[in-house]
A = this chain, B = another copy of it.
Amino acid sequence: MEKKLPHIVVLGAGFGGLEFCKRMAHADARITVVDRQNHHLFQPLLYQVATAGLSAPDIAEPVRAILARNANTTVLLDEVLAVDLAARRVRLEQHTLSYDYLVLALGGVTNYFGHPEWAEFAPGLKSLDDALHIRRNVLLAFERAECAETEADRRRLTTIVVVGGGPTGVELAGAFAELTKVVLKKDFRRIDPAAARVVLLEAGPRLLAHLPPRLSANAARRLGDLGVEVRTGVPVRDIRRGEVELADGTTIPAANIIWAAGVAASPLTHQLGVELDRAGRVRVRPDLSVPGHPEVFAIGDLALVLDEAGRPVPGVSPAAMQMARHVAKLIQRELRGSTGEHGPDSRPAFRYWDKGTMATIGRSAAVAKIGALEVTGWPAWLAWLFVHLIFLIGFDNKLGVLLQWCYSYLTWKRGARIITGLSDVPAAANDARRVAPDDQHVAPLRADLREAA
Interface of A toward B, CB cutoff 8 Å: 36-39, 55-58, 60-62, 64-65, 68-69, 74-78, 93-95, 127-129, 132, 139-140, 143, 146-147, 184, 186-190, 396, 398, 400, 404, 407-408, 411, 413-427, 430, 434, 444-445, 447-448
Q: Are A56 and B188 in contact (CB under 8 A)?
A: no
CB contact between A423 and one of B76, B189, B417, B448 (< 8 Å): that residue? B448
Across the interface, which residues of B come within 8 angstroms of A434, CB to CB? 93-94
Known: A186-B69, A407-B400. A57 touches B422 (CB 8 A): no
The answer to whether A418 and B62 have CB atoms under 8 Å apart is yes
Query: With the chains together, A242 CA to B129 CA distance in Å?
Result: 28
Chain B residues whose CB sits within 8 angstroms of the CB of A37 once the complex forms: 419, 422
Distance to closest chain B CB from A441 (angstroms): 10
- Contacting residue for A128 out of B400, B420, B425, CB 8 A: B420
A422 contacts B36, C-beta separation under 8 Å: yes
Copies of this chain assembled into the complex: 2
Known: A65-B187, A74-B190, A129-B424. Contact between A418 and B93, CB under 8 A?
no
> B65 and A414: CB pair below 8 A?
yes
For A408, list chain B residues within 8 Å (CB): 404
In the complex, chain B residues whose CB is within 8 Å of the CB of A425:
444
Q: How far is the CA of A129 from the CA of B400 in the complex (A)?
A: 28
Contact B93 A143 (CB under 8 A): no
Are A418 and B56 also in contact (CB < 8 A) when A147-B95, A187-B64, A411-B400 are? yes
Contacts of A76 in B (CB 8 A): 146-147
- Would B95 and A62 count as touching, CB distance under 8 A? no
Closest to A62 in B: B417
Query: Which chain B residue shows the least CB distance to A188?
Result: B64
Taking a contact as CB atoms under 8 Å apart, the answer to whether B36 and A68 are in contact is no
A-B contact pairs, 30 of them (CB 8 A): A36-B422, A38-B139, A38-B143, A39-B418, A39-B419, A55-B56, A56-B57, A56-B415, A56-B418, A61-B415, A74-B189, A74-B190, A76-B147, A77-B140, A93-B434, A128-B418, A129-B421, A129-B422, A129-B423, A129-B424, A132-B420, A400-B411, A404-B404, A404-B408, A421-B424, A423-B445, A423-B448, A424-B444, A427-B444, A427-B447
